[in-house]
Amino acid sequence: MRRSKSDPPSRTTVPVSELDKTSELPWNGRLDAMGELLGVAKSHTLPSFLTGRCEAATKSDGTLVTKADQATESAMRHWLQQNFPNDGIVGEEEPPQSGQSKWTWVIDPIDGTASFHHQVPLWGTLIALRHNGRPVAGACELPAIGLGATGTCQEAHLVVEGRQQGILTRASPCRLEEATLVTTGWDYFRMVGAEAVYPELANQAARTKGWGDCYGLWLLLAGRVDVVVEPHLHPWDIEWLVPLAEAAGLKVTNWRGEKCDSPRQCVASHGGPLHDDVTKILKPHARA
């Protein structure tokens, strides 16, 4: 595959190159490139995190941003422009860049900026790859704890300390009253005027946990939690999961229970009656 003229970054611990490449899509090195791009990100984020350079400012929407966010996204965009100059780029920190090809990269340099800022290691880098507007491949890496996931719509893997693990497809064995429900935080419900629904969910679930951002979605892929509910997402927060969920048999919908590739309000689960229990509560609070 094409590489930048500069020295290539060290390989990420997420081995994307062994994914199923037998589909008819013209990947042209892009699956391998997801791993290279995670390596670019890690070369910026992890040193900043480990040395405590995690100062944050508050953006106009009330969310946090760090210098590492901005520097990492700039580096990721530069690498993509050198290696795939005709592809589009959508990211959190800079305006979208249109492309001439059918491919678009959707990137989040640091998902879980609050965790990063407080030096809690539950943050990660997210990459989704769209073809003709639909997410068809995705990858995430939580470099501070050695976890990740990667996949296409046909095949998905967890990654633990650089080693791939299969994802066990299973239907949810429980209803909401037996379930562990995960969300990033109550304040996100408040941000979208849906704070009233959180107590209803919490009162009906067996337990709720704040293992949020990409870590909560990784736990869902790993089968360690039952359902993830998020009230306010952007494409770079969720699109990486959509292809992996399809391959793993997970269910990802909006709060109305409708399947979509980039839900702004999301329910992700192993499906079954549990998913219906949750969307029944959320549907009256769903946004247009």
Domain range for 121 is 16-166
| Domain annotation covers residue 64 | yes
Asked whether residue 29 falls in the same domain as residue 156, the answer is yes
Q: For the chain, list residues with pLDDT below 50.
A: 1-22
Sheet-wide strand order for 266-269: 207-209, 180-182, 227-230, 266-269, 251-253
Q: What is the pLDDT of residue 206?
A: 96
Asked whether residue 68 falls in the same domain as residue 193, the answer is no
| Domain annotation covers residue 4 | no
| Domain annotation covers residue 2 | no
Cα separation, 261 vs 135, whole angstroms: 7
The predicted model scores a pTM of: 0.90
Q: What is the pLDDT of residue 2?
A: 36
Asked whether residue 62 falls in the same domain as residue 191, the answer is no
Beta-strand relationship, 147-152 and 134-142? antiparallel
Q: What is the pLDDT of residue 173?
A: 67
**150: CATH:** 3.30.540.10
Beta-strand relationship, 227-230 and 56-58? unpaired
Amino acid identity at 94 = E
* Number of independent structural domains in the chain: 2
Asked whether residue 92 falls in the same domain as residue 134, the answer is yes
For residue 88, give the nearest of 75, 76, 99, 102 by alpha carbon: 99
* Chain segment 101-113, per-residue pLDDT in tens: 999 999 999 999 9
